[in-house]
Structure 1
Amino acid sequence: MQVSISVKAILVLAGVAVSGFFTSSGQAAWTGASDDSSLDLSVESFGSHEILGEFKRPDPNAGLLQLAFSDDVTQAIVNQIQRGAGECSRLEAVYRLDCLQRVFAQASGAAGRKPDYSAANGELRKLSKTLKGIVGKNQDRKAPKAKLGNKSYRAVSQAALREVNKLASKAIEEATTKLLRSAGNSKKRKVHYTRIANAVNSTKKILRS
């Protein structure tokens, strides 16, 4: 009986000590954490500052980097290429290539920062740059710029049009091949990259009409 009483006494004393510790030092430490302006959850009174440290708000854009392939994103890229090519086809033939290079440049940004589309974005940017270079080397500087909505486009020389379109078609075919190869052995990647590659390849028809 005497041993039992001693154990109870020890437990009571320990409870009082712990309660006093948290109601004094603990309360003072956590009171400062309620200030949302600083969001500092450090509890230096408990000697655990290095464990909790300073709370930092998460980057709202950080999650975008983790997203994988999406049917909606792939379709957005395809739609932008197809709609853009459709608009370019409304222009005279000498203006279409400058229009088309801009379409690919814009489509390269449709997927944002999603890493699974980085290879596709890169190929679209390269293709746009190649087509832009072809236009620059063969531009008809005497011809007025064509306007479509709030955008304007440069003309290539009528005399060089056939050769220009031939070079552009070759560049488009090469980009299509590279997009398909970029899929690697991933079946899921292949599905999405094939859709993008087909959209890119389909734009050649506006250079032949």
Structure 2
Amino acid sequence: MTRSKPALNLCVTVLSGAIALTPAAAFAGGEPVSTPPFFPPAPPAFFPPVVPTTPAAPAAPAAGDSSSETAAAATKTASSAGTRAIVSQINAGFTVCRSVPVREYWVDCFAERLDQVAKDIAQDGDYAEARAIIEDASRKLAQVAQSNASRSIPRARLAASAGAAPINARPLTPVATEAVAATAQTAAAILEEAETTLLRSAAASAQRQAHFQQIAAAVGSNKVLLRSL
């Protein structure tokens, strides 16, 4: 496989049009400001062979806009559209995280993306338990990143291109390079636990079963990848 440029500058677009990482200090009040380029201490060992177009984070729907996927996910009654919206948002978030070539950011990226998914699900109704399970997984993943935070790699935000507005709601905390493999194993276990809990939760309700099975499959879809790191 042909590698990209030998030194990864997180202020430039990674792999031509994919995800760029911008140091958190580069944004003040939501606006990009001039900042010196940051070079990681060592080039990452993994580059995705194909990086899809970066999906934007779902925007909050306008009042009465029931046609948007986010609005569908926020409904209280389980439906094909609502479940599809949740699954799509989970998959899109994981795709964004996997497109980041600096693997030290992956665990907290998964945490932040799942947190956004949970926030877009109604707090009560048929999806309430799914929201709570996804929220719990997000919190546990964030704790793993914080407990193993790197002392040399800065926190960063994801952006579709250099200078673009950040995708994620908060800066991501990278884990120490020597902790990448161990934290990936822990993250895989957290996702597996969430997947299992979703499936058990669905078993008690025939109405929710098919919906929760799809959500569970999306949540657990990156276990094998994480365990291979």
Q: With structure 2 as the length reference, what TM-score do the two structures score?
A: 0.59
Give the Cα–Cα distance (whole angstroms) in 2 for the partners of residues 93 and 206 of structure 1: 12
Q: 1 or 2 for the larger relative contact order (CA 8 Å, sep ≥6)? A: 2
Q: Quick check: 1:190 aligned with 2:209? A: yes
Matches within 5 A, 1:37-48: none
More helix by share: 1
CA contact (8 A) 2:150 2:176 kept: yes
RMSD over aligned Cα, in angstroms? 2.2
CA contact (8 A) 1:67 1:115 kept: yes
Same amino acid, percent of matched pairs: 31
CA contact (8 A) 1:120 1:193 kept: yes
Q: Quick check: 1:199 aligned with 2:218? A: yes
CA distance change for structure 1 residues 148 and 67 in 2, over 3 Å: closer, same or farther? closer
Give the Cα–Cα distance (whole angstroms) in 1 for the partners of residues 141 and 75 of structure 2: 32
Q: Quick check: 1:100 aligned with 2:110? A: yes
1:163 to 176, 182, 195: 182
Larger radius of gyration between Structure 1 and Structure 2: 1
Give the CA deviation at 1:123.
0.2
**Aligned pairs, number:** 147
| Gap runs ≥5 in structure 2 | 1-63, 65-71, 160-165
| Gap runs ≥5 in structure 1 | 1-59
Give the Cα–Cα distance (whole angstroms) in 2 for the partners of residues 114 and 72 of structure 1: 17
CA distance change for structure 1 residues 69 and 138 in 2, over 3 Å: closer, same or farther? same
Give the Cα–Cα distance (whole angstroms) in 1 for the partners of residues 212 and 78 of structure 2: 10
Give the Cα–Cα distance (whole angstroms) in 2 for the partners of residues 155 and 172 of structure 1: 19
Q: Quick check: 1:180 aligned with 2:199? A: yes
Give the Cα–Cα distance (whole angstroms) in 1 for the partners of residues 143 and 94 of structure 2: 19
Give the CA deviation at 1:206.
4.6
CA contact (8 A) 1:140 1:155 kept: yes
What residue in structure 1 maps to residue 80 of structure 2? 71
